Amino acid sequence: MQEFLEKARIELRLRNYSVKTVDAYLGCLKDYFIFLNGDPIVVNLAKIKEFLLLKQDKNYAPQTINLYLNAIKFFYRDVLKDCQKIDLKFAKRNNRLPEVLSREEIQKILAQIANKKHALMISLSYGAGLRVSEVVNLKIKDVLLDELVLKIRQGKGKKDRMTVFPEKIKTDIYFLIGNRVGDEYVFESERGGGITERTAQAIFEKALKKAEIKKDATFHSLRHSFATHLLENGVDIRYVQELLGHQNIRTTQIYTHVMNPQIRNIKSPL
């Protein structure tokens, strides 16, 4: 099994997949190899179906089942160079609306964070529409305070992009990074290096709970809220698409369902 996993790791790295994707694919493949309990060289569609159905029976999300299927297809197609087509359809994705926080809820969350650096990190994530990986990896050289712009390097899909910087926190960020060099992290941990993604998520989750907000929000809800509030402010959807770094505008259009003013203006007949 280790030999096959190592071959898959090498192939994934040669194709410049992100560290997260490499780890996810290898985890899926390891799980699949254990299930097979034998030689995985020959494509067995019945076994692949059985494996994926077991995941479905355990209430795995459709996105996770699709990840398993993608990993298995990659293994046979790109690692073993097997030309046999794995003719399986992907699981239907859940059509869920993003969880969006109101402006008032954002302020309530920030009010619960006593550590100023942590509060700035949450503020910047919301004010610039950043993913958790993007804010923890943000370098000083990519904060262009005079232009009120952030440069996000190698975001999702290994794409660079520019996004807005919230002027409201300009002075606080200036004092946070003023005496440090460009290659250092904006939000350093006490032990050196950047704050971890899990630490950033824990800071948000703790503040959300203390603010007594009952929504099923996560750190990523800050990014959802950024996009929704920009659209509510009348910003053209194509600009929002560019700020978020979405390749397809249909991904951005989901936020128009959250802030649909026509629905909000309808009065219930009760």
Domain spanning 103-260: which superfamily?
Answer: Intergrase catalytic core (1.10.443.10)
Task: State the catalytic residues.
Answer: 131, 156, 220, 223, 246, 255
Instruction: Look up the pTM and report it.
Output: 0.76
Average pLDDT over residues 219-226: 96
- The pair of structure tokens assigned to 4 is 């096959």
What is d(CA 100, CA 191) in angstroms, rounded to the nearest whole number? 33
Q: What pLDDT was estimated at residue 94?
A: 65
What is d(CA 162, CA 151) in angstroms, rounded to the nearest whole number? 5
- Annotated domain spans of the chain: 2-79, 103-260
215 close to 105: Cβ distance less than 8 angstroms: yes
- Determine the topology of domain 2-79 in CATH: DNA polymerase; domain 1 (1.10.150)
Q: What pLDDT was estimated at residue 208?
A: 97
94-147 per-position pLDDT tens digit: 667 889 999 999 999 999 999 999 999 999 999 999 999 999 999 999 999 999
24-33, 40-49, 87-96, 236-245: segment of lowest average pLDDT? 87-96
User: In this model, does residue 258 exceed pLDDT 80?
Assistant: no
Average pLDDT over residues 170-188: 91
What is d(CA 223, CA 228) in angstroms, rounded to the nearest whole number? 9
1-5, 58-62, 203-207, 255-259: segment of lowest average pLDDT? 255-259
